[in-house]
């Protein structure tokens, strides 16, 4: 079964609106109040406050659980598989614990603590796990209460990117030995993310430009620049053909997605280490030269969920708005 944002919103909308809900974690003394919900996919507007503080439900400011956040969680849910929302969302969205708690009050979601495998060089050990939600649509509990369920499931604490990017094997000589800008491990990770962006784009029906100096990356025994779906020359792109200065400015941009020859869903720079200045400068230079055009200028940090989702569900028919579920807007 596949669950959607509309399903999650519908479940939460059935909860009573005139009561206060506690967080799952008892260490958080605040309470949650559902104010209103926009159907079918959110946002969900809530208030949260400490019940014995000077502020109460009347004076507390409303905050929202965005539809993007709801979709991102929905895309990660699998039946009878423990779900760690903090791991899915990382540091994104300051209402993630609210969404987690409200879902736990709906009949189909339970709280569970799966065992976790902790590995070191010489051995592996199963230890007590952290809090997860688990979706059990055939095993309902009473609405409006939290229900803990035991599970024999064990999860790995190995970071998800290690499992996902392991399949993106590339040769040691990423640039045929010509690049000395980054150490090999940093450059390997950079290349892996570029490959993931290409594969995500192909899944969504986009053609992909990869920076000119990265086309010699070897993936599955083939140069990336020779793969189907990789743009060979920006000069031949209908959208850019009349703007040669923009073509020159775009040559070294890490990744650009094109669609139907007249659309450009995203311009992206991969910045997974420290500074983002160089990537921002390249994108700004391109943006200043290219006439105003509706697209997304994106600094890409590792997000294994989107890549895993595309591989797991073989997405079809989604719109470009789907991408926004995995982006945070900046000023």
> Per residue in 228-286, pLDDT tens?
999 999 988 889 988 999 999 999 999 999 998 889 999 999 876 555 678 888 999 99
Is residue 185 in a domain?
Answer: yes
Residues 14 and 134 in one domain: yes
Give the residue from 107, 133, 157 where a domain finishes. Answer: 157
Angle, vertex CA 272, rays to CA 194 and CA 322, nearest 5: 60
Can you tell me the mean pLDDT for 195-201? Answer: 87
pLDDT band at 313 (very low <50, low <70, confident <90, very high): low
Q: CA 196 to CA 211: how far, in whole Å? A: 14
The Cα 9–Cα 41 span in angstroms is: 6
CB contact at 8 A, 116 and 154: yes
Say how far apart CA 4 and CA 73 lie, in whole Å.
Answer: 9
Tell me if residue 238 falls in helix, strand or coil.
coil
314 assigned to some structural domain:
yes
Domain assignment of residue 122, yes or no: yes
Q: For 82-126, write each residue's pLDDT tens digit.
A: 988 888 886 667 899 999 999 999 999 999 998 766 555 455 555
Q: Are residues 22 and 170 in the same domain?
A: no
| pTM attached to this predicted model | 0.56
- For position 173, what pLDDT does the model report? 44
Structure token pair of residue 255:
């990744």
Inter-axis angle of helices 5-13 and 96-104, nearest 10: 70
Residues 190 and 211 in one domain: yes
What is the structure's pLDDT at 219? 79
Statement to judge: residues 32 and 106 lie in one domain: yes
Domain check: are 144 and 275 in the same one? Answer: no
**Residues of the domain holding 54:** 5-157
Last residue of a domain, which of 129, 157, 185?
157
Task: Output the pLDDT for position 276.
Answer: 67
Tokens of 146: 């939290």
Across 50-59, 103-112, 168-177, 299-308, which has the greatest mean pLDDT? 103-112
The Cα 193–Cα 169 span in angstroms is 11
The answer to which of 21-30, 46-55, 79-88, 172-181 has the lowest mean pLDDT is: 172-181
* Residues in Cβ contact with 245 at an 8 Å cutoff, skipping those fewer than 6 apart: 289
- Interval 188-197 mean pLDDT: 82
For residues 247 and 216, which has the higher predicted lDDT (pLDDT)?
Answer: 247
Residue whose token pair is 């570029």: 194
183 and 121 belong to one structural domain: no
Mark whether 121 and 174 lie in a shared domain: no
Same-domain pairing of 149 and 65:
yes
Is residue 317 a part of any domain in this protein? yes
pLDDT in tens, 117-146: 655 545 555 566 788 999 999 999 999 999
- Bigger pLDDT: 131 or 161? 131
Secondary structure of residue 152 in the 3-state scheme = coil
Across 33-47, 164-178, 218-232, 267-281, least confident range? 164-178
Q: Which of 62, 68, 66 is nearest to 32 (CA)?
A: 62
170 and 153 together in one domain: no
Whether residues 207 and 175 share a domain: the answer is yes
Tokens of 73: 């969680």
Counted domains in the chain: 2
Spatial separation of the C-alpha atoms in residues 192 and 230, rounded to whole Å: 15
How large is the average pLDDT for residues 156-160? 47
Q: Are strands 263-270 and 297-300 parallel, antiparallel or unpaired?
A: parallel
84 SS3 class: coil
The reply to whether 66 and 105 lie within a common domain is: yes
Same domain for 220 and 77: no
Which of 157, 172, 195 is the C-terminal boundary of a domain? 157
Tell me the two tokens of residue 210: 């990869």
Place of tokens 């230079």: 285
Long-range contacts of range 114-117, CB-CB < 8 Å, 24 or more positions apart? 114/82, 114/151, 114/153, 114/154, 114/155, 115/153, 115/154, 115/155, 116/154, 116/155, 116/156, 116/157, 117/154, 117/155, 117/156, 117/157, 117/158
- Where does 19-95 have alpha helices with state H? 67-76, 85-89
In a domain, 331, yes or no: no
Q: What is the pLDDT of residue 94?
A: 84
In the predicted model, what is the mean pLDDT of the chain? 80
């Amino acid at each position: 079964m596949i669950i959607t944002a509309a399903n999650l919103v519908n479940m939460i909308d059935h909860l009573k609106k005139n009561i206060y809900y506690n967080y799952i974690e008892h260490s958080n003394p605040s309470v949650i109040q559902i104010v209103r919900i926009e159907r079918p996919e959110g946002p969900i507007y809530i208030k949260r406050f400490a019940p014995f503080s000077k502020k109460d439900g009347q004076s507390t400011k409303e905050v929202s659980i965005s539809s993007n956040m709801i979709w991102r969680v929905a895309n990660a849910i699998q039946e009878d598989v423990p779900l760690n929302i903090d791991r899915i969302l990382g540091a994104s969205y300051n209402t993630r614990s609210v969404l987690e708690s409200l879902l736990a009050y709906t009949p189909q979601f339970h709280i569970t603590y799966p065992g976790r495998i902790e590995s070191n060089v010489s051995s592996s050990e199963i230890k007590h796990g952290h809090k997860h939600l688990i979706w059990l649509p055939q095993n309902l509990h009473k609405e409006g209460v939290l229900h803990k369920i035991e599970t024999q499931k064990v999860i790995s604490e190995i970071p998800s990117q290690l499992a996902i990017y392991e399949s993106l094997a590339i040769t040691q000589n990423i640039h045929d030995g010509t690049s000395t800008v980054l150490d090999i491990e940093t450059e390997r990770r950079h290349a892996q993310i570029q490959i993931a962006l290409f594969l995500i784009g192909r899944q969504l029906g986009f053609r992909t430009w990869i920076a000119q100096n990265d086309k010699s990356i070897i993936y599955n025994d083939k140069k990336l620049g020779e793969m189907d779906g990789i743009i060979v020359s920006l000069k031949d792109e209908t959208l850019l053909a009349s703007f040669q200065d923009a073509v020159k400015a775009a040559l070294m941009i890490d990744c650009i997605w094109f669609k139907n020859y007249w659309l450009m869903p995203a311009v992206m720079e991969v910045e997974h280490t420290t500074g983002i200045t160089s990537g921002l400068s390249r994108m700004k230079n391109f943006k200043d030269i290219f006439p105003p055009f509706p697209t997304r200028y994106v600094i890409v940090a590792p997000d294994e969920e989107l890549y895993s989702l595309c591989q797991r569900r073989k997405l079809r028919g989604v719109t470009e708005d789907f991408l926004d579920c995995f982006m945070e807007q900046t000023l």
